[in-house]
Amino acid sequence: MASPCCFSLVHRLWPAIVLAALVLAPVAHGQQDWQELDWLELMPEEDLRLLESLPEVDHEGDGPVALPDEIMTGRVVPEMDGTPARIPGFVVPLKTVGDQRIVEFFLVPYYGACIHVPPPPPNQIIHVTYKPGFTLEALYDPIWTQGVIRTEKVENDIASSSYTMTAELIEPYEE
């Protein structure tokens, strides 16, 4: 049995112990403060100015709308490298395993990107890997993707991305 002195000390320190547990719990479980990103935050100023100066899209005609070559260079926002981020988007599957769990994909800002030509600029595509994998009922279902953003280029037959992420959490998008 503990002595009354020890009981009194624990009783007096209890609020501090509880507070420390609450403060340190996210660190102990690897959680971070996730910055919720908007897709435009991944574009450097010069690309944003280019976007704003684009002429209005003419939906008449046969071919796909082409973006200027200058916006397709894949410039990045260097400060984004290493940012713990949470960003919504749509999935373009690149690799599935087993029961069609998606383990590698491009995250894009709008449905149909990379499927219809041209793809978005590379700084509007994030190459994501997610070891546990996940399934989608439909590709038009948006998701939240959470992980650390890296400024690394990935190119394949579908598109090029200027950013990568190893996802820690994938969940259905809900506002």
Instruction: Please report, for the domain that includes residue 101, its CATH number.
Output: 2.40.50.870
Judge if 26 and 60 occupy the same domain.
Answer: no
Q: Contacts for 114-121 with beta carbons within 8 Å, 24 or more apart?
A: 114/158, 114/159, 116/64, 117/64, 118/64, 118/65, 118/66, 118/67, 119/158, 119/159, 119/160, 120/159, 121/43, 121/47, 121/67, 121/71, 121/72, 121/74
In terms of domains, do 163 and 113 share one?
Answer: yes
Query: CA–CA separation, 82 vs 147, rounded Å?
Result: 9
List for the chain the helix, strand, coil content (%; round to 5).
25, 35, 40
Asked whether residue 156 falls in the same domain as residue 111, the answer is yes
Domains contained in the chain, number: 2
User: What phi and psi, each to the nearest 5 degrees, are found at residue 139?
Assistant: -65, -20
One domain for residues 126 and 70: yes
Q: What is the mean pLDDT of residues 35-57?
A: 89
The pLDDT tens digits of the residues spanning 99-146 come to: 899 999 999 999 988 776 678 999 999 999 999 999 999 999 999 999
Mean pLDDT of the chain: 82
pLDDT at 57 over 50: yes
Q: Give me the domain span that covers residue 5.
A: 1-31
Domain match, 97 and 112 both: yes
Residue 74 has pLDDT above 50, yes or no: yes
47 & 24 share domain: no
pLDDT single digits (tens) 84-94: 999 999 999 99
Question: Could you give the percent of the chain with pLDDT greater than 70?
Answer: 74
* Pairwise CA distance, residues 109 & 88, whole Å: 7
95 plus 154 within the same structural domain: yes
Task: Kindly report the number of other CB atoms within 10 A of residue 69's CB atom.
Answer: 7
* Helix, coil or strand: residue 120: coil
Q: Which pLDDT belongs to residue 54? A: 77
Asked whether residue 152 falls in the same domain as residue 76, the answer is yes
pLDDT, position 104:
98
Cβ count within 10 A of residue 104:
16
Assess whether pLDDT exceeds 60 at residue 28: no
Residues 52, 10: one domain?
A: no
My answer on whether 58 and 13 are in the same domain is no
Using alpha carbons, select from 93, 98, 78 the residue that is nearest to residue 152: 78
What b/e sequence results for 32-67 when a residue is b if at least 16 CB atoms lie within 10 Å of its CB, and e otherwise? eebeebebebbbbeebeebeeeeeeeeeeeeeeeee
Digit-coded pLDDT (tens) for 4-13: 544 443 334 4
43 with 100, same domain?
Answer: yes
Calculate mean pLDDT across residues 66-73: 82
For residue 21, what pLDDT is reported?
40
The DSSP code for 119 is: P
Residues 8 and 23 in one domain: yes
